[in-house]
Structure 1
Amino acid sequence: MIDNNETIEEFLAQHSADVQEAVRKAAAAEIMPRFRQLAAHEVDQKAGPHDLVTDADRLAEQYLTEVLGALLPGSVVVGEEAVHANPVTYDAIRGDAPVWIVDPVDGTRQFVHGDSGFCTLVALAQHGVLLASWTYAPARDQLATAIRGKGAFLDGERLFSGAPEPGRDLEVATSHPDYTTDEEKRALLALWTDGVRPRACGSAGLEYLAVARGELDATAFSWEAAWDHAAGLLLVEEAGGTALTRTGEPFRITGGNALPFTAARDAATARRVVELLAGGV
């Protein structure tokens, strides 16, 4: 089993391209053949009509679980659909082994409706530290990658999030307040104020990519499932951005965060969003 960051760095130097290939192959084999071709029996609900799962989700996750586990002996895979079937598997994120965090189709609702705004998310972490990430939007043929300390890239070009232009409203992609606790709802509603332009979020992975590209100023999310956030958080961090919880602490993929939290283009924007979120509670 890999048990130190140096050997993981060696693994990433040798096999990052293999992970990219696995992500692309999972999408080509299991996701894109079903894009705009889903039959009714290939779509199910999990917790309700807004929480969908398809055969593409399940089969792409199975593919990635097999390939990623074989690439890195001693590692474990935490995938969204596996956790739905057996919630205890989520505990591996807090364990000692390197862990692959997988969301096979982030933005399933968009995928089901034939919208291109979905992606496959893979992150590698150990001891709660994000080490590498891959964000692949197959319908747009975009692949974003990040390795801790080595930068963030989109299709091979370095990403720099930068600071928002002075004097304009901050654009913030947010969770819908109606799908939160009362406390979180009050926090999110505080973003509806002068100088801020909130909008509903789409695929979390693609919102993080927009922040890393400097196209979106910040996010404000009220849930902490690691498969939605791990890949994007490292992407934003390596592009120069910052993620903070409502109480101003760094977001932890191991859980226990004060929600909502933000990921922003720069530290000043993150602090501004946090101030608003904290003031709304």
Structure 2
Amino acid sequence: MFDDFLASDLSEVEQAVRAAAAAEIMPRYRQLAAHEIVEKKGPHDLVTTADRQAEEHLTASLTALLPGSVVVGEEGVHADPGLLAHLGGDAPVWIVDPVDGTRQFVHGDAGFATLVALAHHGELLASWTYAPAQDLMAVARRGRGAFLDGVPLRAGAPEPGKPLEVAISHYDFTTDHEKRALAGLRTDGVAPRPCGSAGLEYLNIARGRLDAIAFTWENAWDHAAGLLLVAEAGGGSATLSGEPYRIAGGNALPFTAARNEATVRHILGLLAAAG
């Protein structure tokens, strides 16, 4: 059953992602009431009714498409951290961030996305990055490339002689050690800036509009879809130890993704030297 599912065109997954956004997210876009917004860990860590309802919608539709699969989603894990064990389990797992960039969504900004990735035994197999307010759908499949609205994506290489544009974690979510490491990017030849929606920053790398990211948190729902998208667009990624990012966690942080392997190595060198 699983092999047959992977051999299909997976267009039903894209339809499920679009349907969840149309039913649960976009009707609330710029229409949220105060009681529909809740702080989780602070003013930069928000959850809304749209997040919860969209994840419930996706959980039902994705597991129906692939019987025997499980969902590990941001809101589900917040309620039951034990769900994280599925990332290292035997069942196919859907990794879901219903509204990546909730802060932007709350403020009426279009820079948010719905992220879905399919993994098995720790390997990323397919991903969907959908920005409903911008009507952008990026899809990646392991070994088959990355596409934005059907057009192939190629990350390319940074422009020689131009400072590297790097999106970095918000300092409110970093330890002292991570702050020191990220400070290594404040150097000649690098132009760091705060990140927006992680999923859309990965899309920017895959499109060649951003040179790299450096993130200090490892939640799989923020990174799984984008890491496969970047890889299939020709980019690379690695953790501070030089190892691949593991969706089940335990990664050496910060980690980076970039338009090419040379940039990955350069960013890691700067992070390691400063940290």
TM-score (normalised: structure 2): 0.98
Using the aligned pairs only, state the percent identity.
71
1: CA distance, partners of 2:171 / 2:164:
18
Contact 1:146–1:235 (CA under 8 A) maintained in structure 2: yes
Shift of 1:15: 5.1
Q: Structure 2 residue aligned with 1:160, among 150, 154, 162?
A: 154
Matched, 1:226 2:220: yes
Q: Structure 2 residue aligned with 1:185, among 179, 186, 192?
A: 179
Q: Structure 2 residue aligned with 1:203, among 197, 205, 209?
A: 197
Q: How does 1:100-119 map to 2 (within 5 A)?
A: 100-119=94-113
How much is the aligned-residue C-alpha RMSD, in angstroms? 0.9
Shift of 1:12: 3.1
Q: Per the alignment, do residues 121 and 202 of structure 1 end up closer, same or farther by CA in structure 2, a change over 3 Å counting? A: same
Question: How big is each residue's C-alpha offset from its partner over 1:246-280, in whole Å with a ceiling of 9 and x where there is no partner?
Answer: 12111111111110000100000000000001001
- Which of structure 1's runs of 4+ aligned residues deviate more than 3 A? none
Aligned to 2:85: 91
Q: Secondary structure at the match of 1:188?
A: helix
Q: How does 1:213-252 map to 2 (within 5 A)?
A: 213-252=207-246
2: CA distance, partners of 1:81 / 1:178:
21
Q: How many residues align?
A: 275
Shift of 1:179: 2.2
Aligned to 2:24: 30
Letter of the 2:202 partner, please give it: Y
Contact 2:169–2:195 (CA under 8 A) maintained in structure 1: yes
Q: Structure 2 residue aligned with 1:72, among 46, 66, 71?
A: 66
2: CA distance, partners of 1:64 / 1:177:
31
Gapped runs of 5+ residues in structure 2? Answer: none
Gapped runs of 5+ residues in structure 1? Answer: none
2: CA distance, partners of 1:176 / 1:273:
17
1: CA distance, partners of 2:256 / 2:11:
30
Q: Secondary structure at the match of 2:6?
A: helix
Q: Structure 2 residue aligned with 1:265, among 252, 259, 262?
A: 259
Q: Secondary structure at the match of 1:57?
A: helix
Aligned to 1:147: 141
Q: Which moved more, 1:178-187 or 1:69-78?
A: 178-187
Contact 2:164–2:211 (CA under 8 A) maintained in structure 1: yes
